[in-house]
């Protein structure tokens, strides 16, 4: 990647010779992959709902599929953002909704119930990945009740605050005197 970035560098500016370790962990990469998958699936559901319902033998549910598409896109964008953990949990919730919707179509008279079973299997697998990624990308901010270091002695005024205030007052008094 950096070989490309070196090409666009202004002549004379430092170029990368050897890359250091990335801050990205495998779980961050998984979150990113799931985010793009979510966006892709959402686009398909939104723009080609009939293809989806036909494949699943669930004709007449195009509006629902389209709504699920919007949900997938939003969850995908969230998973790709700084707030990826929230996005991944949104995906876990979405997987539940997907499974419920698929189960409702798993009836004896559905000629495509084999496809539904396959889709359920996929949703189960993806849900496991989503859950794993959501667990592993928990924000590392300390909890609100965590013990924190306090800095009550760091005034920044070597001569003390009162001395700073007094000096300021003297300057203000001089300025006022100068104006009158």
CA dist 83 → 33, 93, 155 (Å): 15, 16, 35
| Binding segment (CB under 8 A) for another protein, from list 43-51, 56-64, 76-84, 113-121 | 76-84
C-beta closer to another protein: residue 48 or 80:
80
- According to CB under 8 A, which residues from 129 to 148 bind another protein? 139-142, 144, 148
Q: How far is the CB of 64 from another protein (least distance, A)?
A: 22
Distance from C-alpha of 66 to C-alpha of 44, rounded to nearest angstrom: 9
Helix H or strand E encompassing 10: none
Q: Does 13 bind another protein (CB under 8 A)?
A: yes
| Binding segment (CB under 8 A) for another protein, from list 7-15, 41-49, 57-65, 124-132 | 7-15
Helix axes 84-105, 62-80, angle to 10 degrees: 160
Q: Does 154 bind another protein (CB under 8 A)?
A: yes
- According to CB under 8 A, which residues from 91 to 110 bind another protein? none
Q: Does 50 bind another protein (CB under 8 A)?
A: no
Q: How far is the CB of 96 from another protein (least distance, A)?
A: 22
Residues 6 or more apart in contact with residue 61 via CB below 8 angstroms:
53, 101, 105
Q: Does 174 bind another protein (CB under 8 A)?
A: no
Nearest-CA neighbor of 98 among 127, 62, 74?
Answer: 127
């Amino acid at each position: 990647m950096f070989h490309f970035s070196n090409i666009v560098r202004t002549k004379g500016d430092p170029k990368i010779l050897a890359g250091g370790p990335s801050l990205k962990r495998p779980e961050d990469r998984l979150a990113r992959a799931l985010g793009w998958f979510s966006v892709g699936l959402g686009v398909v559901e939104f723009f080609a709902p009939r293809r989806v319902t036909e494949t699943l033998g669930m004709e007449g549910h195009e509006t629902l599929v389209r709504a699920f598409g919007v949900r997938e896109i939003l969850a995908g964008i969230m998973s790709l953002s700084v707030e990826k953990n929230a996005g991944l949990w949104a995906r876990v919730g979405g997987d539940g909704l997907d499974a419920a919707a698929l189960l409702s179509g798993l009836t004896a008279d559905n000629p495509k119930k084999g496809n539904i079973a396959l889709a359920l299997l996929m949703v189960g697998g993806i849900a496991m990945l989503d859950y794993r990624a959501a667990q592993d990308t928990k924000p590392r901010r300390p909890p609100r009740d965590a013990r924190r270091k306090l800095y009550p002695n760091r005034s920044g005024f070597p001569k003390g605050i009162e001395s700073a205030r007094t000096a300021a007052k003297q300057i203000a008094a001089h300025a006022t005197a100068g104006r009158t």
